[in-house]
Amino acid sequence: MSGTKRKTILPKAPAARILMDAGAKRVSADAVDTLTQVLEELGASISKQAARIAMHSGRKTVQEQDIALALKK
């Protein structure tokens, strides 16, 4: 991914902060890109499952409990 510009939904700075807060002294740009991609994929997966749960419950609005339940699955 080095040298290529990729559009992301999540900003890269918070991903870098997460890595630094986890104890990393230094973080490469590739590590930030990879973490951002993983977080986006995980977020999309949880969101899809939460939306299915809300629809199954007869609602259009995704609520906190839908996300909590989606995380358990």
Q: Give the whole-angstrom CA distance, residue 26 versus residue 30.
A: 12
- In order along the chain (73 residues), what is the average pLDDT of each group of 10 residues? 70 97 98 97 97 98 98 89
Q: Give the whole-angstrom CA distance, residue 43 versus residue 36.
A: 10
Q: Report pLDDT for 8.
A: 85
pTM over 0.85: no
Domains (range + CATH), the chain: 28-72 (1.10.20.10)
What is the distance between the terminal CA atoms of the chain, rounded to a whole angstrom?
31
Classify each residue of 46-68 as buried b or exposed e, where b means 16 or more C-beta atoms within 10 Å of its C-beta.
Answer: beebbbebbeeeeeeebeeebbe
